[in-house]
Amino acid sequence: MTHPVFELPPVGESTVPAAPPEPQIQAPARSVRPTHFATRYRDVIRREEREPEISIGVVVPFDFDLDWEYWRYMPAGVSLYFTRTPHVNKPVGLTLAREVGKPSMVMRATRALNALKPAATLYACSSGSFIRGVAGEQRLREGMLQAGARRAVTTSGAMLEAFQAAGARKIAVATPYTERLTMALVHFIEEAGYEVVSAHYLGLSHDIGRVSRGTVADLIREASRPDADAVFLSCTALRTYGILAQLEDEIDLPVFTSNQVSFWAGLHHADALAPSLEREDGWVLGGGNPMARSTRLLLDAVHEERISA
Counts of helices then strands in the chain (DSSP H, E): 12, 8
pTM over 0.85: no
Least confidently predicted of 13-17, 51-55, 99-103, 290-294: 13-17
Least confidently predicted of 54-63, 227-236, 274-283: 274-283
Q: What is the pLDDT of residue 63?
A: 86
Q: Domains, the chain, ranges and CATH?
A: 54-308 (3.40.50.12500)
C-alpha torsion sign, points 118, 105, 62, 66: negative
Predicted confidence (pLDDT) per residue in 175-209, tens digit:
999 999 999 999 999 999 999 999 999 999 999 99
Q: What is the pLDDT of residue 285?
A: 75
Full strand arrangement of the beta sheet holding 255-257: 195-201, 170-175, 230-233, 255-257
Query: Interior CA angle at 201 toward 199 and 204, to 5°?
Result: 155
Give percent of the chain above pLDDT 70: 83
Instruction: Report the alpha-carbon distance of residue 148 to residue 167 in Å, rounded.
Output: 32
Predicted confidence (pLDDT) per residue in 267-278, tens digit:
999 988 865 555
Half-sphere exposure of 178 (CA within 13 A, CB side): 11
Residue 245 backbone dihedrals phi, psi, to 5 degrees: -60, -50
